[in-house]
Structure 1
Amino acid sequence: MPEPAAANALVLDRPEVIVVDIEGTLSSTWYVRDELYPYSRKRFTSYFEEYSHKPEVARARRQIIEMAGLDSSATAEDLTGVLEAWMDEGEMPAPLRTMHALIWQEGFAAGEFVSPFFDDAIPALRTWSEQSIPVFIFSNGTLPAQRAWFSHSPEGNLIPLIKGHFSLESAGSKHEVSSFRNITHDVAEALGKPREKFLFFSDQVEALDAARQAGWDTVGVRRPGDQFYDAGVGDHPEIQRLNQVRFIRRYASR
């Protein structure tokens, strides 16, 4: 059953495609910072030592050595030191994202985590699916990390509700107009024909601005207490809960 309508409804033209950010929109940004990042920190060294044979780990090792100027004989502790320094500086280069994803996947699979969602998020995903609106995810997290997140929700595996995933590696930065144009192209290929009316939900005004410049409709999601709440969403339509949005048809179906 659809979630009951929320107060202060935002009525929009029905989109052909919905694209949703994760952190700050479907789930709290604080969970990643307070739970997942510390989990990775504790396991970087042992993961390098135990899984050095994995292609993804070997590639991350080579990238860290090159980017940090380490000797080719760098130890697991040396590699961990670089990753931790990047985290302390707020940087998120590719090898750090890779190592986070690998470690989090293992944690989710072992039952150490259940991905938290805001209480209106999963009902919204189900409602959009029931309305036959394709839903895609666009997040900075790697594709494996995204799939682990949606596979281990409080309501089980949500992957069937999602048509596809986009990441920094596959589409580009959420702050770049070109990234949203890349997604427009890739969604057309995934769905078999072009789509023109995209709707993007995010808590970050820079991402919303880029999406709008690419010709998409946008909705800013401001979750009280979450990381980017005080920054606001600029002049984009604003909601606090996804069930505030209601769609109507004002254009001919294609």
Structure 2
Amino acid sequence: MSQSTVRAIVTDIEGTTTDINFVHNVLFPYAYAKLPDFLCENAEAPAVAEQLDAVRRDMQDPEATLEAVIATLLHWIDTDQKVTPLKALQGMVWADGYQRGDFTGHLYADVAPALRQWQAEGKALYVYSSGSVQAQKLLFGYSDEGDLTPLFSGYFDTHIGHKREAAAYQRIVEALDLPAESVLFLSDVVEELDAAQQAGMQTLQLVREGTQAGTRHPCVTRFDEIHL
């Protein structure tokens, strides 16, 4: 890694800043349990109705009943599908949970100090996650370390492209208006790092507990091992 040239850092969330178990053992079950009632109560709200119509398009059934849409959404959660309208609806349910204080956004202890240091050093910080931008802002806004959203300059989700495709990272570079080689991408997933590298970004793999270290990218186990 050419550390002196890093001007922006783009970080993944799940398995990188946040224990994958928080997502799978807290957030997903909460959305699974709350989503049916939430949709029944809010189906007519414009933001919700827009996403329900998007689900129907994905189902290729524009006349699908609300019950059929809910069944499809629960199936997508069961099978961990990265479907954009599902992520948006999950974000709405999680917003309710965060605001109620049902949980806070998990961060590894080494994350917040590093983010604060990098931002103080003038590095622009961004998030790129398969979770919706809303869900990203909620996790960092209601995090274990308080509201960290002021540290970030922007957020990206699957609207910009899928995380294992180089084109998504090319679009991020264009949005940042920086040379690709001055952008560092952090993730625990080798295929995502491969795609970012193909787009010209610098890469680092976070090898947290349960993550298999790859051989194609430099590896660290904690954010405080990253020296910029």
Aligned to 1:53: 44
1:201 equivalent in structure 2: 186
Question: What corresponds to 1:142 in structure 2?
Answer: 132
> Deviation of residue 32 (structure 1)?
0.8
Look up the SS of the partner of 1:114 in the other structure. coil
Alpha-carbon distance in 1 for matches of 2:126, 2:56: 34
Distance of 2:75 and 2:219 partners within structure 1: 36
Residue 130 in 1 paired to residue 137 in 2?
Answer: no
Deviations 1:154-191 (A, max 9, x none): 2211011111111111x211111111111111112xxx
The structural deviation recorded for 1:95 is 2.1
Q: How does 1:1-254 map to 2 (within 5 A)?
A: 12-70=3-61, 72=63, 74-75=65-66, 77-169=67-159, 171-188=160-177, 196-225=181-210, 229-230=211-212, 232-247=213-228
Contact 1:18–1:135 (CA under 8 A) maintained in structure 2: yes
| Deviation of 1:74 (Å) | 1.1
Separation in 2, partners of 1:223, 1:148: 23
CA distance in 2: counterparts of 1:126 and 1:20, whole angstroms: 14
Name the SS of the counterpart of 1:13 in structure 2. helix
Q: Quick one: distance in 1 between partners of 2:17 and 2:121?
A: 19
CA distance in 2 between counterparts of 1:153 and 1:65 reads 33
Task: Please give the alpha-carbon distance, in whole angstroms, between the structure 1 residues aligned to 2:191 and 2:153.
Answer: 24
Which moves more between the two structures, 92-101 or 139-148?
92-101
Match of 2:158, SS?
coil
Identity over aligned residues, as a percent? 30
Contact 1:136 1:165 in 2 (8 A): yes
Runs (4+) of structure 1 exceeding 3 A deviation are 10-14, 193-196
Cα distance in 2 for partners of 1:57, 1:70 equals: 17
Aligned residues: 228
Q: TM-score, with normalisation over the residues of structure 1?
A: 0.84
**Separation in 2 of the partners of 1:20 and 1:122?**
12
Q: Distance in 2 between matches of 1:99 and 1:16?
A: 33
Write the distance in 2 (CA, Å) between the matches of 1:212 and 1:71: 39
TM-score computed with the length of structure 2 as normaliser: 0.93
* Bigger proportion of residues as helix: 2
Q: Any conservation in 2 of the 1:12–1:245 contact (CA below 8 Å)? A: no
On the 8 A contact 2:186/2:206 being kept in 1, the answer is yes
Work out whether residues 11 and 128 of structure 2, in 8 Å CA contact, stay in contact via their aligned partners in 1: yes
Q: Which structure would you say has the larger Rg?
A: 1
Q: Distance in 1 between matches of 2:205 and 2:44?
A: 43
Query: Which 5+ residue runs of structure 1 have no aligned equivalent?
Result: 1-9, 248-254
Q: Quick one: higher RCO (CA 8 Å, sep 6+), 1 or 2?
A: 1
